[in-house]
Amino acid sequence: MLITGCSSGGGDDTQAEGKPVAEPKPLAEEALRPLLLSQADLGAGYLRVQEKAESERFEDVSVQGCAALEKLGQNGDDAMFASRAETSFTYGTRATFGEELHSDRPSVLSSGLRGLFSAYTSCTTYTMTAGTTQFEVKISESATPKLGDEQFAYTSTMDLPAGAQVLKTMAVRKGNIAVMLVGAPALVDRHIKTAVNKLPERS
């Protein structure tokens, strides 16, 4: 995947007398799928693409020059939360746009997202190898809209052989669900509010 970006603090999970409040349980993948963005939500020009098999998602991909990312591992983020649902689209001829929904107890989502985005923004530059292609990645933290309980974002610029590609990664936690968008910065900024608004008020 994807990620510290800018973030806002969550609410207080204790009652007035100091007793902890029971956290909502994670939603199952089946409950997350209807909350994903659809072509109808996005508008004209978007085409949904086939999801890759789990074994193909991180095949022959590695990171060099950033200790935090190397420690995180190729797929450490996928095992971090209790459930996940995802979808992806193409827009126009080249642009891609992906969404992931994750669910877990709010405290687990909060700490996990903070750690994940901290790892991805701990190095301003690093080298990525995909198959036999090696390229430099530059990372910068990004501003986030005030949505949900916490927000995180960063922008990555990849110096690919075919030219530079810029992607924005943004996550918003709302209770026990986190939505993450990855794609061209303008597309992420355009659709993050719609994605968050599809989430229930409190699950």
Decide yes or no: CATH 3.40.1000.70 for domain 29-197: yes
Residue 19 scores a pLDDT above 90: no
Contacts with 47 (C-beta within 8 Å, 6 or more apart), sequence order: 39, 89, 90, 91
Write out the two tokens for 178: 């986190």
Q: How far apart are CA 6 and CA 142, in angstroms?
A: 7
pLDDT in tens, 92-138: 877 889 999 999 999 999 999 999 999 999 999 999 998 888 999 99
Write out the two tokens for 104: 């877990």
pTM equals: 0.84
Average pLDDT over residues 48-55: 68
Q: What percent of the chain has pLDDT over 70?
A: 81
- Cβ atoms of 33 and 178 closer than 8 Å: no
**Local confidence band at 16 (pLDDT 50, 70, 90 cut-offs):** very low
Average pLDDT over residues 17-23: 67
Average pLDDT over residues 29-38: 97
Closest to 187 measured CA to CA, from 6, 46, 4? 46
Kind and range of the H or E run holding 187? helix 185-197
SS3 call for 186: helix
82 vs 5, 56, 72, CA distance in Å?
22, 21, 18
Alpha-helical (H) ranges within 25-160 are 29-32, 39-42, 54-57, 67-72, 106-120
Spell out the domain ranges in the chain: 29-197
Mean pLDDT of the chain: 85
Total residues belonging to the chain:
203
What's residue 67's pLDDT?
A: 92
